[in-house]
Structure 1
Amino acid sequence: MQTPSEKLRDAWTRHAAAVARKINLAWWIQTLSTPLVTVGLVGACVLLLIRREAPDSQAWVLGLSAFGTVALLAGIAWLVARRRFEKPEQSLVRIEASMRLRNALSAAKAGVAPWPELPPKVDAGVEWHWQRVLIPPFAALLFLVAGLFFPVSARTNPVVDKDEPLAWAKLESDLQRLDEDKTLDETYIEEMKKKLEELRAQKEEDWFSHSSLEATDSLKKEHTSQVDKLERELERADKALGNLEKNAGGMSAADKEKLLNQFDQALQGLQNGALKPNSKLLDQLKQLDPKNLGQIPPDQLQQLRDAMKKAGKACKDCQGGDCQGDEWLDELLDGDGKGKGGGSGDGDKDGDKDGEGAGKGGVDRGPGHSPGMLGAEGKKLDTGDLTGLESKDLSRSLPGDLLQLQDGEHDVDKSAVGSHAGGEAGATGDGGDRVWKDALDPDEQKAMKKFFGQ
């Protein structure tokens, strides 16, 4: 059972402890405020950056990380602020000073005086400034919440592809062009795409190695060869059918046999090539009997020829991966693309002689190119004879300038010269002997004798 004096002591001690806690909390908040705002701002930026760079990050993981950072900062601030913390005994002094108790609490604590009566309100003389207390943690919390929930677009890292060899892109475009044409067999196209993908499957640093470029060049040459072969065989077969149909009645047996052989050879080339027409077109060509073209309906024969021309045009438009054909080269060589050679441009020896075009030539028709391979010959300029200009003002002449040209004759001494004895002292010598003996001074003659022994 406590006495009244002990009850007063405990009451004053509790009030002193509450004041001490209030003072110590204020010191802790003051120490924490500035770092908390700084960490909140920096943390918000870090959270936004993480959410942009790693959009798969879980929100609760980020929130827990932010809370842990704030807790660690609060613990550090608590340790720093402890140096200023106030004890309950100091709070008793603060209370008696604020309430003007004239050291009554200190004396009662020392046991030299009784504890004074507890007033209705104990005033320690300190009050909270809530704006200074709440603004820093509220600002830090706002920053962190914004970093966690503010909408931000995930960063899409652009895929930086290393530039691949240009021939690959051209070859792929070429194959795509051929694939769009339904008159060609898809087996060859798929095989070429597979080979191209095998080249791409290499390490990027090996794309431009010697072996890779050599394989690319070989693949391109193979493709160009197959495309050219298919175009050539289709054109030969179509031309043979056209001539057989056109001149069926007035053709000699030898010429007809020659055209039939051309068609058979073209058909064999179409069957044996890696790049073939599609199975439907190839079967129609196999079933066609060139000897009995008259029994085939004209519209059916025309459809067959149109399909062959379509396949040939697809080959012509895609030559070795360029997918542009050779029209630009024709325009460069022939100006407007029309040569001045005779013939209709198809290379037939009995074609339209009034037409224009270079023709495609053949084994029995010559090369087929235009007379002007580098374009139209320009107009010749009448340059005339070259005439020298003569300057009369010699004061402006420079060293090396030509002053005068004139024709002249050598001044030859035609007087007779008598013979001289071999040992005669007055002999002048002949040829080289005169040059080095008579034209050299004594020192030079000694040097010549020393080296040449004469």
Structure 2
Amino acid sequence: MNEAVLERMWRHRASALAVRLNLAWWTERFNQLLLTVLPLLAVAILAGRTWREQWISPAGILLTVAGLLALGALAAWLLARKRFVTGEVGLVRLDERLGLHNRLVSASRKVGPWPADDPAFDLSTGLHWKAGRVVLPGLGSLLLVVAATLTPLPKREVLPREVVQPGAWEQMQDWLETLDAADFVDKEAIERFESRIDELKERPEEEWFSHTSLEATDSLEEALEEEIRDLATEMNALDRSLSTLESYSSESAEEAKKEAAREMEMAIDSLGQGGLPLSDDLRKELGDIDPSQLGSETIGGLSQEALEALQRQLGQAMEALGSLEGLPGLEEGMAFGEGLPGFGEGEGEENLPGFGGITRGRGDAPLFFGKEEDQLGTSNVEGIRNEDLSRATIGEVLGLGETERKIDKSRIGPVDGGTATSLGKGGEAVSRQPLLPDEQAVLKRFFK
């Protein structure tokens, strides 16, 4: 063989040896990365199948494994490249293995000829692959991923999330259910308030406690409270007027009877209006009452028994209003305002408020809190005066009067600048410290 053929042969053998060495270094790094990354992937798959099963799919797992293997191969090459050898190192290893005493290295440097090929050369170089160290780390890691993917897991019971609604919604719903069960308020009015509550509930749960939602809830709660208060006030006025008219005898004052009848008619009109009007049946029964016939056996289209049944129904309605929780002034079955000054009864033999006289008014005040203006039957406006000033409060106006300004009309002529035209005044108000006679004598010696 000529020198060129021998050179190609020995350099090819040296390159093959270098490739085997470099591949061994890369395999070691690659297996180390697989032993780190794939077990972590198996844990992630188990966690995903347990908590987010919809995110896990076989195709996604295969793509993830393929991507990790590619990235691992690249990372292993970057980590192992500092240990890679070249063909020159392969020639050194062949010289050492074959006992050529550096003849290959010398030939590569053009110092000597390339040695001839000898069948007695052992070209195995003493390097052998250990299948266990090469295959088992990667295979074991892949088996962990397969096991994490295919191992059956017990079904996880997802407990339903308990969504807490604003407390005002539940309270308003309880109020409306109580009014609906009492069956004396118009059903359509109750449904209108319920639909407004449902509109708030239909919003996304994340917005239930937002500023806008809570502001709308407060506004709706205040509106419902006001309607219930007005309803309780008018129901109380109607019940009181009805009881008063029924208790009047024929000898009673006609003017007081007319006043009670007027209050009753106003209460009935108010109960038919507003946001929570009475039901149609109850309004019809109240409309059949003729206040002028109260005390007789038949009142308009109602008998005495029907009137008593109507009064019992009104009493049950007032009890239902009094049972509503969270409304100040509506407690223990007491209608709004009942028990306050002006809602009491007279002290006579009959259960009546009294008729009043020259020096005092009647036993109750025909003034009720509501949207309608109270008709007092007079347009005379009188001022209230407190003659007992011992009970006056701080800042209270005790009286008003008219006064005139006093103008100094004395004439003052021109005055030269820098000259005093009159003695100074005002010193009388300056505090002077009295001195003893000895002290005054000392001052006179220095200030003559």
TM-score for the superposition, normalised by structure 2: 0.52
Counterpart position of 1:365: 363
Q: How far did residue 265 of structure 1 move? A: 1.9
Once the two structures are TM-superposed, the CA of residue 314 in structure 1 deviates from its matched residue by 3.6
Please tell me whether the aligned partners of residues 324 and 330 of structure 2 are also in contact (alpha carbons under 8 angstroms).
Answer: no
Aligned amino acid, residue 70 of structure 1: L
Structure 1 unpaired stretches of 5+: 1-9, 331-337, 354-362, 368-431
CA deviation string 1:90-124 (max 9, x = no partner): 999989999xx877xx99xx673553599xxx976
Partner of 1:115: 119
- Cross-structure match for 2:267: 266
Aligned partner of 2:233 in structure 1 is 232
The answer for the alignment partner of 2:297 in structure 1 is 294
| Residues 433 and 77 (structure 1), Cα distance of their counterparts in 2 relative to 1, 3 Å cut | closer
| Structure 2: distance between partners of 1:300 and 1:56 | 68
> For the residues of structure 2 that align with 1:284 and 1:433, how far apart are their CA atoms?
91
Letter matched to residue 231 of structure 1: A
1:407-444 deviation digits (Å, cap 9, x = unpaired): xxxxxxxxxxxxxxxxxxxxxxxxx9993362745566
Partners in 2 of 1:251 and 1:56 — Cα distance? 87
Deviates more, 1:257-266 or 1:64-73: 257-266
Deviation at 1:304, TM superposition (A): 3.1
Using the TM superposition, give the Cα deviation of residue 68 of structure 1 relative to its aligned residue in structure 2, in angstroms.
0.3
CA–CA distance in structure 2, aligned partners of residues 130 and 288 of structure 1: 108
Deviation track 1:370-417 (CA, whole Å, cap 9, x = no partner) reads xxxxxxxxxxxxxxxxxxxxxxxxxxxxxxxxxxxxxxxxxxxxxxxx
Shift of 1:307: 3.4
- Residues 248/365 of structure 1: CA separation in 2 closer, same or farther (3 Å cut): closer
**Which residues in structure 2 correspond to 1:364-443 (within 5 Å)?**
364-365=362-363, 435-436=434-435, 438=437, 440-442=439-441
Deviations 1:53-91 (A, max 9, x none): 866435233541342022111133135445656899999
Distance (whole Å) between structure 2 residues aligned to residue 273 and residue 178 of structure 1: 16
2:321 is the counterpart of 1:315: yes
Change (3 A) 1:131 1:288: farther
Partner of 1:67: 66
**Contact 2:186 2:279 survives alignment (8 Å):** yes
User: Over aligned residues, Cα RMSD in angstroms?
Assistant: 6.0
Q: 2:179 aligns with which of 178, 181, 191?
A: 181
> What are the within-5 Å matches in structure 2 for residues 161-176 of structure 1?
169-170=167-168, 173-174=171-172, 176=174
Which of 22, 31, 34 in structure 1 is aligned with 2:32?
Answer: 34
Task: Measure how far apart 1:44 and its partner are.
Answer: 4.5
The answer (yes or no) to whether the contact 1:184–1:278 under 8 Å persists in 2 is: yes
Provide Cα deviations, 1:262-293, integer angstroms capped at 9, x if missing partner: 32221011113332123333333224445377
CA contact (8 A) 2:323 2:331 kept: no
- Letter in structure 1 aligned against 2:269: Q
Residues 244 and 256 of structure 1 are in contact (CA less than 8 Å); yes or no, is this contact kept in structure 2? yes
Residue 78 of structure 1 aligns with which residue?
A: 77
Q: Name the CA distance, whole Å, in 1 between partners of 2:346 and 2:95.
A: 132
Does structure 2 conserve the Cα–Cα contact (< 8 Å) formed by 1:52 and 1:153? yes
Report the CA distance shift for 1:347/1:97 in structure 2 as closer, same or farther (over 3 A).
same
Structure 2: gaps (5+ residues): 1-8, 105-113, 351-360, 366-430
Q: Which amino acid aligns with 1:73?
A: G
Once the 2 structures are TM-superposed, how far is the Cα of residue 30 of structure 1 from its aligned partner? 0.9
CA distance in 2, matches of 1:317, 1:37: 71
- State how many pairs are aligned: 335
Q: Using the alignment, how far apart are the partners of 2:274 and 2:208 within structure 1?
A: 29
User: For the residues of structure 2 that align with 1:154 and 1:87, how far apart are their CA atoms?
Assistant: 60
Q: 1:348 aligns with which of 328, 345, 350?
A: 345
1:155-192 Cα offsets, whole Å, 9 max, x none, are 9998999xx9xxx8447623541244213235545555
Amino acid at match of 1:270: L
Hey, what's the Cα distance between the residues in 1 that align with 2:223 and 2:48?
52
Comparing 301-310 with 197-206, greater Cα deviation is found at 197-206
CA separation in 2, counterparts of 1:66 and 1:83? 27
Name the CA shift for 1:434/1:274 in 2 (closer, same or farther; >3 Å).
closer
Residue 231 of structure 2: SS of its match in structure 1? helix
In the alignment, the residues of structure 2 paired with residue 31 and residue 142 of structure 1 have an alpha-carbon distance, to the nearest angstrom, of 19
Tell me which amino acid in the other structure corresponds to 2:68: T
1-structure distance, mates of 2:115, 2:439: 143
Distance (whole Å) between structure 1 residues aligned to residue 218 and residue 288 of structure 2 = 38
Q: Deviations over 1:302-361 (max 9, x none)?
A: 543343233333433448xx2465549x9xxxxxxx99x9xxx983336999xxxxxxxx
Letter in 2 for 1:57: W
What secondary structure, in the 3-state scheme, does the structure 1 residue paired with 2:311 have? helix
Identity among equivalent pairs (%): 24
C-alpha contact (below 8 Å) 1:277/1:311 kept by paired residues: no
1:113-141 Cα distance to aligned partner (Å, 9 max, x none): 553599xxx97645554543344324533
Of 252-261 and 147-156, deviating more is 147-156
| Pairing of 1:128-147 with structure 2 (within 5 A) | 128-142=129-143, 144-145=145-146
Question: Tell me, what secondary structure is at the counterpart of 2:282?
Answer: helix
SS at structure 1 position matched to 2:30 = helix
